[in-house]
Amino acid sequence: EIVLTQSPGTLSLSPGERATLSCRASQSITSSYLAWYQQKPGRPPRLLIYGASSRATGIPDRFSGSGSGTDFTLSISRLEPEDSAVYYCQQYNNSPWTFGQGTKVEIK
């Protein structure tokens, strides 16, 4: 099973700043089969990024994904108040599909 470790646990930033979230895999994820989701309280996760860097339909270009192998990053440029949420990475390279433990982004 591929274990995904996200860091930091919590990120507290001001509106307009840039957020950088990390997702590290316990083994290499070939073909960049990694997705990112945003989850707000009481809501289901929302797909942001798939294939490590492709934005899902309707996702603003403030959200971008990068990385390969074992190290992946989600960047949120120009933070807005509505970006306050927990962000999860998910690998779909090897079954069982697994999620990271999440990074909470707080907007000051």
Partner 1 sequence: QVQLQESGPGLVKPSETLSLTCTVSGDSISSFYWSWIRQPPGKGLEWIGSIYYSGSTNYNPSLKSRVTISLDTSKNQFSLKLASVTAADTAVYYCARGPWGWFYFDYWGQGTLVTVSS
**Where along the sequence are the contacts to partner 1 (CB under 8 A)?**
1, 33, 35, 37, 43-47, 50, 56, 88, 90, 92, 95-102
Least Cβ distance, residue 43 to partner 1 (angstroms): 8
Would you say 81 or 96 has its CB closer to partner 1? 96
Q: Tokens 């998910």 correspond to what residue? A: 90
Q: Tokens 């073909």 correspond to what residue? A: 31
Q: Is 46 helix (H, G, I), strand (E, B) or coil?
A: strand
Least Cβ distance, residue 3 to partner 1 (angstroms): 12
Ramachandran angles phi, psi of 79, nearest 5°: -55, 140
Would you say 14 or 95 has its CB closer to partner 1? 95
The DSSP bridge pattern shows strands 103-107 and 85-91 to be: antiparallel
